[in-house]
Every structure is written in C-alpha cells, then in structure tokens.
Amino acid sequence: MPASSFTLLPSRLVGIEVVRADTARAFARHVHDQFGIGLIDRGAQKSASGRGMVEAGAGDLITVNPGEVHDGTPIGDHGRSWRMLYLDPERVFELAADVTGRAVSREVEFTRPTLKDTRLARRFEALFPALIAAPTAAPSMQAESALLMLLADLLSPRSGDAPIAAATITPARARLDDDPASEVDLATLAADAGLSRFQFLRAFSRATGLTPHAYLIQRRLQRARALIARGLPLADAAAASGFCDQSHLTRHFVRCFGLSPGAYARSVR
C-alpha cells in the first residue's frame, strides 16, 4: 500500500482547518464536529453519508455536516488524494448570515455529499491557496470572499428532523456530549430517554447513525483532539477524555482521522 500523507496547513482565517491528504487508507465510520468541504484531486472513493452511499472522483467536491456519520474507501489500488477544509459551526453560521443579509437558523446543512460541478470546483480551487499562509499572516480578503461565494452555493436550510425518536434520545445524547469521559451504561441512557434498552438502541442508532458506544467514542475523540490542540500531553489528554490509556486513544484516533495523536500535536503546534 502506498505511504499515507496527511498535512495540516496553516490557515489565515480563524475557525478553519486546512488539510491535504494522499492515502489508500479506508476510514471507519466516524464524525466531525465541523462542517467539511473538500475536493478530490486524484483517484476516487466511495463513502457512507447522510444521503446514503456515494462515490466521488477527481474534480468532484465532497461535503460533510457536523455530527454526520461517514467513512471513506478508495476505489482502485492506488488510493486518492484530496484537499479538505473543516469549518467550525459558529464560523459557518456567521458567514451564512452574511450571505443572506439576515440572521439565519443555526440548522443549516450541506445537502449534497458529492457534487460534480465545474464552477464550484473552480471556486474551491481559488479558495484553498488563498487560505494557506504563515501563522503570522493577516486575514485575507480574498479568502473571505471566496469562502462566502462557495458557502452561498452549498448551504441549504435543513429539511427538519422528522422522526420523533430523534427528540426522544436527546437527554441521553446530551449526557454523552456533556461528559464523554464518564462511564455510563445502556440502562441509564435508556432511562434518560424513557425507553427500554432495546427501544433506545434502535432509536439512538436511527437518529445518529451510530450505536451509543460508537457515539461515545466519537465524543471522546473530539475532546481528546481539542485537548491535544491546546498542548495537553497525550497521556493526560487520553485520560481526561475517557480512554483507558494512550494506546487506546491512538488506535481510535488513527482509525478515524488517519494520523496519530502525536502527529496531530506536532501539526497544530
């Protein structure tokens, strides 16, 4: 298998991570706390998304929403390369309000996980280099403008969380979100929802795309990632996030993000 390459690049705009990747790795199902916009540069991949299984090839845009369960498997033997932007939700809400000229609902989303659109691909091509800069560089008007133009075409109002089950599991989901490092059992989570354990498992999986345990691992990964970015030692970040040890964190981190916690720490510093 060809060597994997993941590079976290400096960004001129606060609240945006810029990533360049080239790998034949298959990623397990996972989530991000951010919105993601990317462009496949070489090769192709198939992936689960909030709209089902999709495929994307060279020149296609890919998107993901915060909390949306997705994975990624290369098509062919030579992997694929892509560039990705991860945008903090608050940044997206601010920019969406700027695009519309009015306050917008926080429930906005990308509705197309893959896009074959030459015009939008060109906009991404203009945005990506405009974002990259030395850490001390001033914010770029070009980057701000290009980002606004791209988001204006990509964001759509959320169609609504129709299933009643989504609201039913909210208390249990909030417990996992608020304190992912704590140990909690299925019976307790089901009691929070007022459901039997079986009903809760089915409702939670339908609403989130993950089992409660898999969801908890994702929340722990997001906490560990944030703590590492702040400079906390890896072992301490693992313990504070609920992982039994650093190796446990590393195994899940690599499986979902493609690079080790140590490599991520070196990149953000």
Rounded Cα distance between 186 and 264, Å, is: 32
Rounded Cα distance between 249 and 243, Å, is: 6
Residues in contact with 128: Cβ distance below 8 Å, sequence separation at least 6, in sequence order? 18, 39, 83, 85
Partners of 30 in the β-ladder: 70
**In the chain, alpha helices (H):** 89-100, 118-131, 141-154, 164-168, 170-178, 186-193, 197-208, 212-229, 234-240, 246-257, 261-268
Q: Which of 185, 266, 261, 170 is nearest to 221 (CA)?
A: 261
Residuewise pLDDT in 10s, the chain (269 residues): 456 788 999 888 889 999 999 999 999 999 999 999 999 999 999 999 988 999 999 999 999 999 899 999 999 989 999 999 999 999 898 888 877 666 666 668 898 999 999 999 999 999 999 898 665 555 577 888 889 889 988 876 555 444 445 678 889 999 999 999 998 888 888 888 888 788 888 888 888 888 889 899 999 999 999 999 999 999 999 999 999 999 999 999 999 898 999 999 998 87
